[in-house]
Structure 1
Amino acid sequence: MVVALMMVFSVNGAYAKDYVIGEHKVPVAKPDPASTYKGSESCKMCHTEKYDGWKTTGHPYKLNTPAEAQAFNSPPVPAPDGYTYDDIYLVIGGWGWKARFIGLDGYIITKTGADRKTNGSNQYNLATKGWVDYNPGAVKKFDCGNCHTTGYSLAGSQANKPGIVGTWEEKSIGCEACHGPGSEHIKAGGGKGVAIIVNKSAAMCGACHTRGGDDAKIMSKDGFVEHHEQYPEFLNSPHKELNCVSCHDPHKGVHVGQTNPTEGAGITAQCATCHSKQNTDFTGSTMQKAGVKCIDCHMPKTGKSAVGDIAKFTGDVKEHLFKINSDPNAKMFSDDGKLAMGYITLDFACLGCHTGKDKAWASTYAKDGLHKYVKPAAETPAKETEMPEKTPGFGLFFAIAAMIVAIVVRRR
């Protein structure tokens, strides 16, 4: 893909830089040709509510100092075996799923142990609090700045670290990663001065929420969709004419986690907002009464960022395909396992909960009418044969009469 680069000036104006963002390294759009980066803290004074909400999301934590990575985790994320945090320059992630580590030379740590010759055990998974291998033993440069930093340029090496490809103006995904450099907006006093960029296109989010060369293809590996494939999934879904912000507030977190106290805070539209008929059908159904939600079946965790259990058809990233293929013979992945299809198969949609069943069983239910399915009430088991009293209270009458007779006889 040929990328036309825009020449812009750095903060100090001393030299020209080409700023890019995303998997395809697309040139950064700017509110004004003279705009430079000022950092997310500069936005806080006027946009306090947006800033505070952004801090609850995962975006500010894509790249962290050792102190930052430990601050929002309890217990703190440990350093790899054979290292202390004095040996760590930056932590990649550490929020939500996993943590990888950049050494003082800028290279990603791939060898561990007391002698630092053991290949692997260099990625820490938060869910399991355990270590797994990531490119064990390889010489691995940090070349992820296009999606883990703001104001990224391919020129040079950050802090002159030989293992780092490129430089950036702010680590992690800050306000200006999506809105563009804000110096002129700030200088003009915001408002009706130099308006900041507000790009509501799904492609804006898709710059980073994709991987691989073709956005129309959904990359997969080891029985799961690869992480950060939400945009290709979305393009293959029935909702592709919508935008991410149709349902998401990008300034608020979605799931409860290290920095977000409110589940669903960043969801601005529920499924029922548009799918009113299905919601009406679903209300009162067996699944609704059991606590099942739309997203349990239509957005299962088909993706894997850190951990997944293929036997339970459950990863750790929800998908954005929404469409379920009810054919029991449909395959979720290509024969070589490198691509996911444009739909969800019944194993991921159903068998994560209905363990011990198979797709053939699921297909008998996954059809028109499922949303309003009500399980027939079980027949009440017949009691042992007994003779019912024909007159209510008649037996009680005889019992009382017998007691009276006994008392009279005793007094005689």
Structure 2
Amino acid sequence: MKQILLILLVLGLAVPAMATDYVGSDKCFTCHAEQYNQWQASGHPWKIRSSEKARFSKLPLPPGYSWDDISYVIGGATKKVRYIDKQGYIITSAKDGSEAKTQYNLEDGSWSFYHKGEKKPYKCGPCHMTNYSPEGHQYGMKGMIGTWAEDGIGCEECHGPGGDHLKRPSKATIKVDLSAESCGKCHQRGGMGPEPPAKGGFVRHHEQINELKAGVHKNLACIDCHNPHERAILAKDNCAKCHPGIAKSHAKERHGRQGTRCIDCHMPKASKSAISVTSYTGDVRTHLFKIDPAADAEMFKEIEEKGKKSSVAKGFVTVEYACLSCHASRDKAWAAEKAKKFHRK
């Protein structure tokens, strides 16, 4: 990336400068080392990385490509990896132009097609970058739509520009927004409405705010369960704080004695980002929480807007997702009957 920047400067091409008040996440380390280290281990700074940083991660590359052909890597923290070429376009075919799977899936080491053969510009900046602007092209790369101050989701994307705070450290000079909507501006699809878009029998990915608004916990904030600086999988696991009676009964049941957690049934992997393990198991936990145990309950419904049909999730999880992801040899009727016996006081 340094070589690219040097060439651009020599040629006189526009290079997006760090916004005046944006200082970069590394400046936060001096006073906030604990939070900085937690953030570094989370998925936020991994939304996009330069090839200079990513080449040491030992990730496999699409057919025919070397690291010298790559400008950026998208993702790589938990689910999937995509690659951006030197012109700023997402790679969708082999280097020689032939058909190829170009999305690498971390969970099982498989490859998937991604917009096969298309010329795909990178326009994910609003939720993958810090201080994103839709104007221009980062480092003059035509496939990169927009410019930004820092790769990935840095401290200042949530806390605002840190220039004043660096000069005058106090709560008055930094933004702290603990609302669900603060996270929801990116963890949503098609707005923050209570109808999570679905596809192929799964809720589509990055829709946590949609699910939250659709479910029984619509008044909760994300921080009630999550430390915003840590990885999402390190949730507080504090369901018993609000549900002491249910937690007590669960501890006495067979599943509780075997170590099954609340989230295993109430937050099954009914959402999909990269792969689906089974017909009822994706790779992202849902935030709907409520389970409808009825044998005839349907988790999804079809809608039509402007003549276009699509699928959305209702405000609950059904037993095929809550139960059959583990009890794969059983059927929905069996699961519905068993579900009647749970959480009896």
TM-score, normalised via structure 1 length: 0.75
Residues 235-246 of structure 1: pairs in structure 2 closer than 5 A: 235-246=213-224
Partner in structure 2 of residue 81 of structure 1: 63
Cα 1:273/1:35, change in 2 over 3 Å: farther
Q: Which residue, 319, 332, 339 being the options, matches 1:346?
A: 319
Shift of 1:128: 1.8
Kindly provide the amino acid, as one letter, of the partner of residue 66 in structure 1: S
Kindly provide the amino acid, as one letter, of the partner of residue 271 in structure 1: C
Q: Which moved more, 1:213-222 or 1:278-287?
A: 213-222
- Asked if 1:52 is matched to 2:37, the reply is yes
Partner in structure 2 of residue 27 of structure 1: none
- Asked if 1:118 is matched to 2:95, the reply is no
Partner in structure 2 of residue 330 of structure 1: 297
- Asked if 1:132 is matched to 2:104, the reply is no
Q: Which residue, 193, 206, 211 being the options, matches 1:228?
A: 206
Q: Which moved more, 1:282-291 or 1:54-63?
A: 282-291
Q: Which residue, 83, 88, 94 being the options, matches 2:76?
A: 94
Q: Which residue, 356, 359, 364 being the options, matches 2:332?
A: 359
Quick one: distance in 2 between partners of 1:67 and 1:215? 39
The structure with the greater share of residues assigned to helix is 2
Shift of 1:365: 2.1
Superposed CA deviations along residues 5-58 of structure 1, whole A, max 9, x for unmatched, are xxxxxxxxxxxx9x9xxxxxxxxxxxxxx9711100011111111111111111
Quick one: distance in 2 between partners of 1:129 and 1:69? 17
Q: Structure 1 stretches of 5 or more lacking a match?
A: 1-16, 20-33, 256-263, 374-412
Task: Give the fraction of aligned pairs with identical amino acids, expressed as a percent.
Answer: 44
Superposed CA deviations along residues 59-112 of structure 1, whole A, max 9, x for unmatched, are 1110012243344x4xx1111101101000000111111111110001111121
Q: Which residue, 222, 225, 246 being the options, matches 1:247?
A: 225
**Could you say what secondary structure the match of 1:52 adopts?**
helix
Shift of 1:187: 1.4
Q: Given that residues 278 and 325 in structure 2 are in contact (C-alpha distance below 8 angstroms), is that contact kept between their aligned partners in structure 1?
A: no
Q: Given that residues 215 and 232 in structure 1 are in contact (C-alpha distance below 8 angstroms), is that contact kept between their aligned partners in structure 2?
A: yes
The Cα RMSD (Å) is: 2.0
TM-score, normalised via structure 2 length: 0.89
Q: Given that residues 55 and 67 in structure 2 are in contact (C-alpha distance below 8 angstroms), is that contact kept between their aligned partners in structure 1?
A: no
Partner in structure 2 of residue 320 of structure 1: 287
Quick one: distance in 1 between partners of 2:53 and 2:40? 13
Kindly provide the amino acid, as one letter, of the partner of residue 371 in structure 1: H
Q: Given that residues 285 and 372 in structure 1 are in contact (C-alpha distance below 8 angstroms), is that contact kept between their aligned partners in structure 2?
A: no
Runs of 4 or more off by more than 6 Å in structure 1?
Answer: none
Task: Report how many residues are paired.
Answer: 324
Quick one: distance in 2 between partners of 1:338 and 1:283? 36
Quick one: distance in 1 between partners of 2:186 and 2:301? 24
Cα 1:96/1:365, change in 2 over 3 Å: same
Quick one: distance in 2 between partners of 1:231 and 1:70? 33
Quick one: distance in 1 between partners of 2:313 and 2:55? 35
Quick one: distance in 1 between partners of 2:312 and 2:257? 36
Larger radius of gyration: 1
Residues 152-167 of structure 1: pairs in structure 2 closer than 5 A: 152-167=132-147
Shift of 1:157: 0.6
Quick one: distance in 1 between partners of 2:239 and 2:192? 29
